[in-house]
Each structure stands twice: as structure tokens, then as C-alpha cells.
Chain A
Amino acid sequence: MAKRTTSKGTSGAKKSTGAKKAPAAKSSAPRGKRRERPDTAGKIVTLAQDIVSLAHEETDPFVDIPIRALSNVDFNPKTRYIEMGDKTQRRNFFNFGQAKRFMQTMLVASKCKENVEAQKTTSIRGMYYLSKHTIKGTKEKTFDAQEECDPILEDLEVSLSALREELHVYASSRGAMIGELTFVDSGDTIDATKLGSGGYAIPSIVEPDVIQFKKCNAKFILHVEKDTVWRRFVEDRFWEKHKCILTHGNGQPPRGVRRLLHRMHKELKLPVLVLMDNDPWGYYIYSVIKQGSINLAFESSRMAVPDAKYIGVSSFDYDRFGLSDDVKIELDANDMRRAKQILNYPWFAGKKPWEKEIRKMAKNGFKMEVEALSVKRLTFVTDEYAPAKLKDKKAWLD
């Protein structure tokens, strides 16, 4: 983000920008840590004031936006999660190619501030409509599609190092939870053992001011990839037999699910075990839960669960459980390419078991879905496969 230029002595544009850069680099290191009282509104005000004073100093106003790409993330072996680097991209107002996006950034920022102050939240789609209007005296719209608005919001998140939730924007709920936990959501006490077959839809915002944990009888959390698998486990009341919390994120888990996993792991000291499909996408979902994502690297410390373990499905399970050919789905070129990419990620590289696992998959030439285990028997996955995997801690992948 644009750092405040307070020193009146700096006159030249170059000098002042140089001065601004230094604190920006410093502040990025503790970014996200110890954020007890995030003053989101204050950050937005600072952003706007910076713009005004830059203009006053006859400097082209800009916002520095940390780059969200593999090139700007580092895997920190100490913390064991992905951290965002220092690289930023400057978005100038008076640059022809950036002018509109600069305007959009400020527009979204102002709407976020309004929402924060009014204590209202909206969806990203809602934010798109809030910010959309026709520019005075033209036929041009500030935004033409939500696809334009979404990245602007992400830019704002990283620039302000504020979570989307702190900007009072939520993503659509995706993912559910059930199991041995009692908690409070917006003042309502919820006993997660009494949620029927539907479970608790994990909201986008799960910060302590919304959700507080009360009583926990669970020994671990089992996170499965998809709703269908989760339903199998719920129907068979797996959480009851094994004293656990069952969650799913409907594929790549939304940030609410990840944040909740992080909180339960940290606050309730529950190990997080992950059951995914045996394919590169399954591996990657696991890695996002464990180390964080590239896109939200600046939030890794608040979302990642570095101790999460991958319990299945493993490429070796085909032989181990004597599965039939019917479970096989042939790997295509796309799968192979992705597998190679994953092997090269620094947080996978050097992990022998993972290397073995991925090589085995490549050697197998097929992938397997969790649902495929039903070829044996509908409840095979809950009464035989999962318990066996839970016991065999050595076979877990880290």
C-alpha cells in the first residue's frame, strides 16, 4: 500500500517514493501476526490520505500491491507455511493502462469502509453491485463484470493486509461441519452433535467475535474433500464412533473453512487429518490446508495448519486394500503435468514419502476417488478403510 509521506522536507517525487519503500518492506514481515484489534477502517483512511497527500506533492498517486504469484511467495521451513514476499506492483493513477483499476481500487476501498462503519457485510457479488455505477457524463460503467471486481478486492486485502472478512466481505458458504463440538455462532449456541444429516454450514467469517468454542469432546478433526464423502461419514455416524469433528470444503476449501480448521487446531489442540482423492488436485488441497495458498499467502499464518496430515487416499492403497480395477481412473496429460508442478513446490520438494507417493501414482497410471472405495461395499470407507488408515500412523503423509 501507499505509505504515508509525512516528511515535508522531501520535495522530489523520486526521493519521497524511495523513503516510502523502506517502511513498506519492514511492515511486511510482521504482517498478519498479532492482529488482535484490526483497525480496518483506519487502514482504509490512511490509504486515502496517502493518495491525497501524494497528489498534493505533485506525485502521481499510487497504491503498492503485493504480488500474488508463485514468484512472490516463499515457503518458510521454520513456520512451515507459505509466506508472501516483498515484491509489490505499483498501481499508478496517471498511467493509462492502470488508471481505471486505480479508480476501481479506491471505489472498492470506499465501499468497504462504508460497510465496516455500518457493521454490514456483503458478498463479493454484492460488493460488485455496490461499486458499480455509470461514470458521470459517460456511458462507461465503473465495473463491467464481477470478474473485474474480485481481483480488485483481493488487491485491497493484500495492500491493507486485511482479511476479506475484516473488509466486511464474505464468500459464499461452502463446506460443512459436524461432530463432537459445542460452540457459539453470533450468540446462538450450537451443539454440533445434534445437527441431523445436514450439519453446520461453515460461514465465511469465523473470527472469534462471531464464533466462540465452548465444549469439545473430539480427539481429532477429519477433513474430507467433498460433500458426497462427508455425507457417507455423517450417515454412518463416524464422528460419534471415533470422537471427532468432520468437515469438508467442497473441493478447494474456502477461507472460512480453512480459518476454522486453523482455529480449532490452535485453540482446541486438535490434530487435523485430511482424506482426499488420490490425484494431484487432492494433494494440492491438502497442501493448501497445511501450508496456505499462493493467493492468500499473506494470511497463511492465520489459516495454515502445518501439522495437518494426509491419511489417504494413497497410491499404495490399491494394493494394500486389494481394490479392483473398477476404482481406476486413467491419468491424463493434465494430471501428469500438475503432479510434476506439485513435486516442484518447495513445500513438497525434499519430502521423500511424498516423492514416493507421487511417483507411485505416476507408475500406477491411474487415480482414485474416495467414493470409488464403494466398489467393495457402501460402508467400506467408514467401517474398514478409514479406521485402518487412522491406526496406521506410519502410512500418513506429512
Chain B
Amino acid sequence: MDDDQVSTAVQSTFEFPADTTETAPAEIAAMTPARKPRAGTGSKATPKKTKATGKRKKAEQQPASAETMAAQQREISISEFFARNRHLLGFDNKRKALLTSVKEAVDNALDACEEAGVLPEIRLEIRQLAEDRFRMICRDNGPGIVKDQIPNIFGKLLYGSKFHRLKMSRGQQGIGISAAGMYGLLTTGKPVSIISKTGPKKPAHHYKLAIDTKKNKPDIIEDRQVEVEWERGTDIEIEMVAGFNRGRQSVFEYIEQTAIANPHASLYFKAPTGELLEYPRATDELPTETKEIKPHPHGIELGVLMKMLKETSSSQVGAFLQSDFSRVSPSIAKEVCEKAGITPRTWVNTVEPPTAEKLYNALQEAKLRAPATDCLAPIGAEAILSGLLKGIKAEFYTASTRPPTVYRGNPFQIEVGFAFGGELGAAERAEESTNGNKKSEPTTARVIRFANRVPLLYQQAGCCTFKSVTDTKWNNYGISQSRGTVPQAPLVIFIHMASVWVPFTSESKEAVADYDEIRKEIKLAIAECGRRLGIYLRRKKRRAHFSQRRDVFHKYIDEVVDACRSITTFNRDDFRRDLVNLAERATDAADMEFDDHGNILAKNKRNGDDMENTVVVDGAGQPRGQLKLFTPGDGEPEKKRRASADKSGAKKTKLKKKRPKSKK
């Protein structure tokens, strides 16, 4: 799936230098078999090409003949292409190169573990060898790789299992780890080192691989059996010229966000500085294995249909439509064929491009059921909460998973999570208290974006998720926001899109395209979380308000007692206690206590709107990573945690502790 897009890009770009484009548009239109190595599915690339061709024509001084051009036409290996165009795959600069390599390694590791049904445990280490030279070491506890496949997987571009599947998987950069290896090879001349062990009793194989860029073939430099202390998994080491940074768009950020979106994974990261970041797993549940689905007719383009016609194993059109697409029943297949002027029994290989176009249009017009959405494996609100709890220290957490829906025939599902307050606003508060004035820069909300559990770190402003955030009216939820900007609050907004096909805005796969359906879903999910945050904030405000009032009453109680006492005699303590009780009752909202889910505890509850999928952390310094929040049937640990949090000095209101409860 993802790889299709890459190959498109690859094709369109690498043709230019060879100047073979004269014939290309005609070829594409006629859909004659492609002579080029990866003649993909070109309709997307077509306009681009035509435009570029036009430009080129103007620039050319002497028109070349077809023959002279043919002399220059030759196959270009994908590896060679990569060597020249590495920026397309995320290796534009040193820092990004390191991040991309880490991403490829970690994403591969996670995918492998999940597919094998293993709870992932990934150890990443980056060592600095020289000023701009680093070694990345990534080890997982996955199934390992069969010895014979190791050279292919790591030494050959575009080799893998996810290439043409329509299935929800990470598969972020498509070209994968081999590209990272090639980058290492290109910049340092050092081969990639892989150790793989497929089981406790199996031997561990150690390969050192280079890539023959011309032939796109692995070049085995070393191959031997080694002894390792771990039982199973894959260890990959790549040395490369790179840059290491912190903060935004860094490996740190990537690891942190990956931990949030993958609470079932344990991540350990050792930075070149020697720091060790640990994100132990927060849930023992592996994400549901996703099903591969067939494309939905509404989600394809004409070119794809033509390609499918050519590649299908069915011989008749009716059978082809039913077996190669989802949601096409025999009656619909018949209807579509008739509209296109053929019958279901028409032989597939007789379908000419004009008929194919008619068929395509008929398919688009046909009333089809939306694609099955069981191919999606959302993270789930509870797991998002676990992830947020693990990765972000805040006070209020909530998450929402939208029901699956469809854009352009592709099933997708949106999930949103919020982490609010707590340490997120600590910097701002500290600044305020030191400066004394309230003019310090307000904390701006941070948006963390994910596509199929992979963090998106670049091109935030161009992303549909980000636009949905700025498009939301945050003031409705008690959060300040200047019109059309990111809200100003100590808030982290987690947005995840799960889909068999995430529509990225570009080949570099850094931002989600702005489809109305997607934006609508994101906004609905944000609204759901926003409402809960709003309720929580209002409850807190009310509590603070009444607590303030109570303070006022308490302030005056002694004055009134003294005054009355100087007028007449009575039991001073009784009177004082009576007044304190009355003050408490008048401000009982100040006693409002929240449970772990931001709901008002029953004893002072007034209304019954309970919040789902919400966690409130009150005490400071809780080891959040270890909270077992949603294990079914164990409410006990939760309660215990609460109690201990209270004891450890969780301050609800100032007065609460002073007063003995003397309610009837």
C-alpha cells in the first residue's frame, strides 16, 4: 500500500534525467504494458509529468530525436535512484537521516513483533563515534528472520511483506530499513550488521551486508554464526553520518510519542549522552491483528483498475469484480457490467481502455456498501490513556475513539486523546511566580500526530489533524484560543488516524491530507474530549470558587464569634463549631472530590453525567507508567492508589484537612 505511493514517486522522478518523457504521456493514456522497471499506476503522476515535460521542451535548445534519446535510455536501479534522491525518503539532512533510520528500525521491529504476536520490547541505542558519526543499534524481541531472507530484507530496496497489501500497518517509509542501511553505506562505507535469532534453540546468524546499488542486490561481506545472550529477535547496527539533537523532531520526541501510541511496547533508549529513557509497557494487550482487505471500488482510480484488470487471476469481468474488490456482490457486478456495455462474462483480457473507463465510472456510480471496517485496529481509548499516562505527566487525561468510517472507499478511524494540566503547565506557573506578573507567555497546546501508530513529526501545519485543532472552537471547553490558532493551555492533543490507506499529502509521508470526512471525524473526536475537559474544568472552577467562599466565611467567623462574645455570654466553642458547620454546608461544593475519572464522588454528587475514558491524577510524582488502569475486574488497585495518593498529601482544598467531618 504505502509502497505504491513511493514507487509512483520513484518512477516519475527518475525518468526526468533520462529524458524519456516524450513518449510517456501517450503510453500512460493507452496503458500499454510498461517498459520501464516499475511502471506503476500512473494516473496520479501523469499531470506532473506533462507539466514537467512542457517545461523541459522550452528549455531544450536542440530537439533530440527519438533515436538519440533511446541511446540514453537505460534501466536505473532503485538503489541507484535512492543514492541520488535520498531526500525523498527522509534522508535530507544529518539529523533527519538519524531520525528516519531510527523510525525504520523501530517501526519494523514493532510490526514484526505484533505480527508474530509478541509483546514488543525494543532497545535502541545511539552511540556517537565522532563529531557527525553515529552508530544506531536497535534490538527487538520479535520472531527473528530466517537466515536466507536476511540479505534480501536488509540488502535490497523494495523487498518486504507489506508491499502491495491493503492492510493497516506501520510501513511508514516503505523502502524501509534497507534504505537506512544504504544511507549508512553511502556516508560511511560501512556495511550494515544484522544478528538474527529465530528461537531459543536456534543459532544466531550474524551478517554484514553492503548493497550493490547498481544491481539492487545484497552484497554479503560476512556471514557467520554467533553466540548471543538473548533468546530471539533481531539486532541491527548501522553506522552513518548523522546529527543528534533534542527537542522537536528529535529521536527523543519520536521515542516518547511512539511509547504513547504503543502502550503495549516496552521501549528503552540510550542516547549518545548516556541518558537512558525507559518506557515500560503499560498494557499487556497486543493490538488486534488487522485483516487485509481488498480495495473498495470507490477508493481506486482508473489507473489502479486497469492495473488490477491486467494482474487479476480471474478470467471474466464479473468474477474479477467480485473477487478482487470488497463489497461487490454478483448483482452489483452485473449491474456495473451492463452499464459499461459488457456482461459479467466478458473476458478480462478483452477489456480495452475505453471500456475500462466506462467500467470505472459505473463502479463509481454504483451504490455500494461501505467497506468493512474490521480491518482496522484502533489503539483504543483505554490504551491511549495508558500511553498518555506513561508518556506525559499531566493532571487530566481523556481519550475518545470514533467509530470507523470511510473516506473515498478507504476505511479509517480517528482517535483523540488529551492530557491536560499538571506538569504541562508547571513551567508557566513557575515563571509567573518568579516574575510576579501574569504576562508570561501562555503555554500553547501541543499536537502529537500519529498515522497507524507512527508519530508524524514533520509538516505539522499542513496536516489535516492540525487544521482540525485550529478549526475547533476551544473557548467552548473553557480553554482560551485566539481565532484560528492552536489553543493556549497546558494541553497535549493526541490524534491518531488508523487506516488501511493513510492519505499523505506527499511522498515523504509527514502530513495527512485534508479530506472533509477525515477532518469531520477528527473534530468530532476533539469535541468529545473537549466536552469532558470542559466539564472537568468547570467542576474544578466551581470547587475553587466555593473553597474561596469558604475561606471568606472562615475569615469572618472568628470576628463574629468575638463580637457576639463581647456582647453576651455563651459557649464560645459551641457557637464557633455551629458557624463552621454552617459555613461548610453553605459551601459544600468546595468539598467536591473527583474519582479517578474526573467524576464527582457520590457523597457530594449533584448531577449524574459521568465521563467515560477519563483519568484524573491528583497526587504529584505518581509512577504513572505502572498504573494498571483498565484490567477488567480489578477495581481494587485503583482504589488503593487513590487512598495512598490522598495520604501522600494530595491537596484538594486547604480546609479539608483542618476540619473534622461532623455531618449528620
Establish whether residues A45 and B555, one from each chain, have CB atoms under 8 Å apart when the complex forms: no
Interface size class of A (residues with CB under 8 A): 20 to 34
Which one, A58, A60, A138, contacts B555 given CB within 8 A? A138
- Complex alpha-carbon distance, A206 and B572, angstroms: 38
- A110 contacts the other chain (Cβ, under 8 Å)? yes
**What's the minimum C-beta distance from B530 to chain A, rounded to whole angstroms?**
30
Given the known A-B contacts A94-B582, A96-B549, A138-B555, are A56 and B574 also in contact in the complex, defined by CB atoms under 8 Å?
yes
Q: Please give, as numbers and ranges, the residues of chain B lying within 8 Å of A372 by CB-CB distance.
A: none
Establish whether residues A113 and B560, one from each chain, have CB atoms under 8 Å apart when the complex forms: no
**Binding site of B, secondary structure by majority: helix, strand, loop or mixed?**
helix
Establish whether residues B581 and A52, one from each chain, have CB atoms under 8 Å apart when the complex forms: no
Query: Interface readout for A27-63 with B: 1 if CB under 8 Å, 0 if not?
Result: 0000000000000000011011101100110111100
**Binding site of A, secondary structure by majority: helix, strand, loop or mixed?**
helix
Closest residue of chain A to B572 (Cβ to Cβ) is A52
Given the known A-B contacts A96-B549, A99-B556, A135-B555, are A109 and B582 also in contact in the complex, defined by CB atoms under 8 Å?
no
- Complex alpha-carbon distance, A58 and B558, angstroms: 17
**What's the minimum C-beta distance from B619 to chain A, rounded to whole angstroms?**
28
Q: Please give, as numbers and ranges, the residues of chain A lying within 8 Å of B585 by CB-CB distance.
A: 58
User: Which of the candidate stretches A100-108, A215-223, A269-277 sits at the interface with the other chain?
Assistant: A100-108
- A140 contacts the other chain (Cβ, under 8 Å)? yes
Establish whether residues A51 and B566, one from each chain, have CB atoms under 8 Å apart when the complex forms: no
**What's the minimum C-beta distance from B563 to chain A, rounded to whole angstroms?**
4
- B583 contacts the other chain (Cβ, under 8 Å)? yes
- Complex alpha-carbon distance, A51 and B581, angstroms: 14
Q: Please give, as numbers and ranges, the residues of chain A lying within 8 Å of B575 by CB-CB distance.
A: 52, 55-56
Establish whether residues A55 and B559, one from each chain, have CB atoms under 8 Å apart when the complex forms: no
Establish whether residues B567 and A109, one from each chain, have CB atoms under 8 Å apart when the complex forms: yes
Given the known A-B contacts A60-B586, A94-B586, A136-B558, are A48 and B553 also in contact in the complex, defined by CB atoms under 8 Å?
no
- A142 contacts the other chain (Cβ, under 8 Å)? yes
- Complex alpha-carbon distance, A18 and B566, angstroms: 29
- Complex alpha-carbon distance, A106 and B575, angstroms: 14
Establish whether residues A58 and B582, one from each chain, have CB atoms under 8 Å apart when the complex forms: yes
Establish whether residues B581 and A102, one from each chain, have CB atoms under 8 Å apart when the complex forms: no
Establish whether residues A103 and B574, one from each chain, have CB atoms under 8 Å apart when the complex forms: no
- A93 contacts the other chain (Cβ, under 8 Å)? yes
- Complex alpha-carbon distance, A101 and B556, angstroms: 10
Establish whether residues A55 and B578, one from each chain, have CB atoms under 8 Å apart when the complex forms: yes
- B30 contacts the other chain (Cβ, under 8 Å)? no
Q: Please give, as numbers and ranges, the residues of chain A lying within 8 Å of B556 by CB-CB distance.
A: 93, 99-100, 102-103, 135
- Complex alpha-carbon distance, A114 and B568, angstroms: 11
**What's the minimum C-beta distance from A137 to chain B, rounded to whole angstroms?**
8
Q: Please give, as numbers and ranges, the residues of chain B lying within 8 Å of A140 by CB-CB distance.
A: 555
Q: Please give, as numbers and ranges, the residues of chain B lying within 8 Å of A103 by CB-CB distance.
A: 556, 559-560, 563
Establish whether residues B559 and A107, one from each chain, have CB atoms under 8 Å apart when the complex forms: yes
Establish whether residues A45 and B582, one from each chain, have CB atoms under 8 Å apart when the complex forms: no
Q: Please give, as numbers and ranges, the residues of chain A lying within 8 Å of B560 by CB-CB distance.
A: 51, 61, 93, 102-103, 106
Which one, B552, B567, B578, B581, contacts A110 given CB within 8 A? B567
Establish whether residues B568 and A94, one from each chain, have CB atoms under 8 Å apart when the complex forms: no
Which one, A59, A100, A113, contacts B566 given CB within 8 A? A113
21 residue pairs A–B, Cβ–Cβ below 8 Å: A48-B567, A48-B568, A49-B570, A51-B560, A52-B568, A55-B579, A56-B578, A58-B578, A60-B586, A93-B553, A95-B586, A99-B553, A102-B556, A103-B559, A107-B563, A114-B566, A135-B555, A136-B558, A138-B555, A140-B555, A142-B559
A-B complex: 9 closest residue pairs judged by Cβ atoms? A55-B578, A94-B586, A48-B567, A106-B563, A110-B563, A103-B556, A48-B564, A110-B566, A45-B568
List chain A positions with a Cβ less than 8 A from chain B.
44-45, 47-49, 51-52, 55-56, 58-61, 93-96, 99-100, 102-103, 106-107, 109-110, 113-114, 135-138, 140, 142
- Apart from A106-B563, A114-B566: 12 A-B pairs, beta carbons within 8 A: A44-B567, A48-B563, A52-B578, A93-B556, A93-B560, A93-B582, A96-B552, A103-B556, A103-B560, A106-B559, A107-B563, A138-B555
List chain B positions with a Cβ less than 8 A from chain A.
549, 552-553, 555-556, 558-560, 562-564, 566-568, 570, 574-575, 578-579, 581-583, 585-586
